[in-house]
Chains A and B, each alone.
Chain A
Amino acid sequence: MLRFLLRRILFGSLVIWIVATVIFILYFVTPHDPARLIAGKNATAQSIIDVKRRLGLDRPILDQYGRYLWRLIHGDLGYSYFSQQPVTSIIKRELPVTASVTLGGAILWILIGISSGVLAATHPRSFADRTVTGFALFFYSMPTFLLGELLLLGLIGEAYKIGFKFFPPGYYVGISQDPYQWFVHMILPWFTVALVTAATYTRLTRGSMLEVMGEDYIRTARAKGLRERRVVYRHGLRSALTPVTTQFGIDIGTLLGGVIVTETVFSLNGLGEQIYNSISRQDLPVIMGIATLASVFIVIANIAVDAVYAVLDPRVRLS
C-alpha cells in the first residue's frame, strides 16, 4: 500500500512539474509584454526597462525558469497586473467560496449519481428506471451554463420574485457569518454543478450495478438468506463502485470546469469567477496562478481517489 501511494505521489509530482513548465512556456511565448502592462499606458521606455529589471524579465530564460520554479515551490505566484495584489492573497480570499461550491457540488453529485443509479439498476426496465435514465440523458446533454442560466436563475429567479423565497439566487454568504444563509445560497450553485456530472454517474452506476447483480456471489448471498437491502448495498454496491471510483478521479477536472461556469453564472466571487474576469483583463498571473493551483488540487485529489480505490478493491494494492 505504501509503495503504491509512493508511486502515485511521484507520478503526481511529475504531472505538476509538467503543468508548471507548460504554464511557464505559455507565459513566455506570448506576444504580450508583462513589463509594459504593469508599467501602465503612459510609461516611458526607461520605466518599462525598470519594471523589466525588477521582475527579472531581462535575465536569460533558463534563469527565469529556475526562479519561477523556486518561487512556485515557496508558494509565490506573482502579482496581478490588474490590482497589483499578490495572486496568493487573491486566492486565499476567494478560496472559501470555491471550496464551498466544489465540495458541496461534489457531495451532491455523488449522492444523486449513485443513489439514482442504484434505484435504476435494482428495478431494471421499470418506470423508475426509465424516468431516471431519461433524466440522466437530459442533464447529460445539458451544458452547465445553460442549466444554471435557464433553469435555476431563470425559473427559480422568477419564482423568487413572486414570493417563493426559498432559494435566493446570487451572492455568497460566509459560512462563519451565517451558516443557514450560506447553505440556502449555496443550494442552486450546488445543483448546477452536480446535476450535469451526476448524470454520467447514474448511467455508470446503473450499468456497473446491473453487471454485478448478475454475478454468482450475489446469488449465493441471496441463497444464504440475506435481506435484499444487505445484498444490494454490502455485496453488490461495494464492487459495483470500483469502476465508478476510477471515473470519479478523472472527472474532478470536469467538476472544476463546472465550478468556473457556475460561479460565473451566479456571480459568486470565487476563483472561477476571478479567472473568468481575468480573461478580459488579460491578467495573466492570476489565470496562471489559478490554473497551477487547480492542477495541484487535481493531482492530490486523484491520489486520494486512488487510495480509496485501493481500499475498495484489494486487487489494486497487489499489482
Chain B
Amino acid sequence: MKLKIPGTGSPDPTVDDGDPAEIQGRGPWQLAWARLRHDRVAVISGITIVGIVLVAIFAPVVAHLTGHSPFTQYRTTGLSPEGIPVGPGRNFLLGTDSLGRDILVRVCYGTRISLLAGVVASSLAVAVGVVVGLTAGFFGGAVDTVLARTMDAVLSLPYLVLAIALISVVGPSLLVSIAVIAFFSFSSVGRIVRGQVLSIKEKEFIEAARSLGAGNLRIMFVDILPNVLAPVIVYLTLLVPASIVFEATLSFLGLGVVPPTPSWGGMLSESTAWYQVAWWYVLVPGLGLLVTTLAFNLLGDSVRDAFDPRYNRLFVSES
C-alpha cells in the first residue's frame, strides 16, 4: 500500500495511480520520462525551447517574409531623418538598430548563434568531462590525483579574465568561443562523474564483469557509464543555459561572434548607447536571451527532479 504524507498534495502522478492492472516494472528512464511529461513547468519550458529552435531553423524564412536581410542597413526607411533607430511598426515589426537594420530578423539569426554555442559547447564539455571523470574515478591513484587536481584548478580559475586573455591573442570567432566555454565547463561534469564512479566501481556487478573477463574500457563505458548518465543529463540541461550566457557575455565584450554577424550579446552591446531613445533595441535581444536561459534552466530543474531518487522518498513512502 502506498502512503501519502498529508499536506503534500499529489506530487507524483506516476506512482499515485490506483489501478493495479496497470502496474508494471518501469526502469528509471521510463519513470523519469513519465514524471517529466506530467510536470507542467517541464512541458511549458520544453515547448518554449522547441519554439526557439524553430525560430533558429526558420530565420531565413522570417528574413524572406519581411523582405529584410540581417545585414542590410536600411538607411532611408530604417532610420529617422535625425539618424535615430525606428521603433516597432508596420515596416519593421520590432524596430531597427542604430544602423537601420531590422531587429526582428537579426534576433532570429542571433538565436542560431546562441543555440549553437550553448548546445555544442555544453555537449563538448560533457563529453570531455565524462571521459576525464571516468578515467580519474576508475583508475584512481596518481591518475586520479592529477586529473582531479587539474579539474579543481580549472574550476577555481577566473575564467572570464583568462578567456579575455586567450581570445585577445587568438582572435575572436564562434569556434574559439565554443572551445573556451567547453574548456572552462568540463571540470564540473568531470567532478560529478568522478564522484559517482568512485562508488559504482566498488559494486558487485563490476566485480562480476571483471570475472567474466571484461577489459577496463568495456567496464568503464559499458558497465559504469550507463549508471552515471542520469546526473550527466541533468547537468547537460543546466549547462546549456550557462553556456548561452557565457557566449552572450563574450559577444557583449566583443570577444565572441564577430560583427556584423548578429548575436544577442553583440546586439545588446551595441544597444548600450541607445537604451534611452530606443528601448526595443535593448528589450528584444534581452528578452530573447532571458526567455531562452529561463526555459532551459526550468527544464533542467524539472529533469533533475524527475531523475532524483529522493523525490520518491520525500513524498511517497512504501509500507
Q: A residues near B, CB below 8 A?
A: 11, 15, 18-19, 23, 26-27, 29-30, 32, 125, 137-138, 140-146, 149-150, 153-154, 157-158, 249-250, 252-254, 256-257, 260-261, 264-265, 275-276, 278-280, 282, 284, 287-288, 290-291, 294-295, 297-299, 302
Contacts and interface: CB of A to CB of B under 8 A. Distances in A.
B290 A287 contact: no
A250 B156 contact: yes
Contact of B157 (A158, A261, A280, A298): A298
Contacts of A298: 156-158
Interface string B280-303: 001100100110011011100100
B161 A26 contact: no
B161 A265 contact: no
A299 B296 CA distance: 32
| Dominant SS among interface residues on chain B | helix
A294 B168 contact: no
A146 B158 contact: no
A150 B275 CA distance: 8
A264 B160 CA distance: 13
29 contacts: A18-B153, A19-B162, A137-B298, A141-B294, A141-B296, A145-B248, A145-B269, A146-B268, A146-B289, A146-B290, A149-B271, A154-B275, A154-B279, A256-B160, A257-B159, A257-B249, A260-B253, A275-B161, A275-B164, A276-B164, A279-B168, A282-B168, A287-B164, A287-B165, A287-B168, A291-B164, A291-B165, A295-B158, A298-B156
Contacts of A275: 161, 164
A145 B14 CA distance: 41
Contact of A26 (B153, B157, B166, B297): B166
A253 B156 contact: yes
A252 B157 CA distance: 8
Given A257-B161, A279-B164, A279-B255, A143 B245 contact: yes
A294 B161 contact: yes
B268 A295 contact: no
A142 B253 contact: no
The winner among A143, A149, A253, A278 for most chain B CB atoms within 10 A is A143
- Interface size range on B against A: 35 or more
A164 B245 CA distance: 31
- Going nearest first, the 6 A-B pairs with the smallest beta carbon separation are A257-B160, A141-B293, A291-B165, A294-B158, A141-B294, A253-B158
A295 B162 contact: yes
B10 interface: no
A280 B254 contact: yes
Interface in B249-287: 249, 252-255, 265, 268-269, 271-272, 275-276, 279, 282-283, 286
Contacts of B276: 157-158
B89 to A, nearest CB: 22
B157 A149 contact: no
B149 interface: yes
Contacts of A278: 168
A299 B158 CA distance: 10
A145 B156 contact: no
A141 B282 contact: no
A267 to B, nearest CB: 10
Nearest to A289: B165
A155 to B, nearest CB: 10
B30 to A, nearest CB: 26
B169 interface: yes
Given A141-B297, A257-B249, A26 B282 contact: no
A29 B165 CA distance: 13
Contacts of B158: 252-253, 256-257, 291, 294-295, 297-298
Contacts of A158: 276
Central interface residue in A15, A30, A146, A261, by most chain B CB within 10 Å: A146
Interface in B158-198: 158-162, 164-166, 168-169
B154 to A, nearest CB: 10
B249 A261 contact: yes
B98 to A, nearest CB: 15
Contacts of B265: 143, 145
A151 to B, nearest CB: 10
A143 B161 contact: no
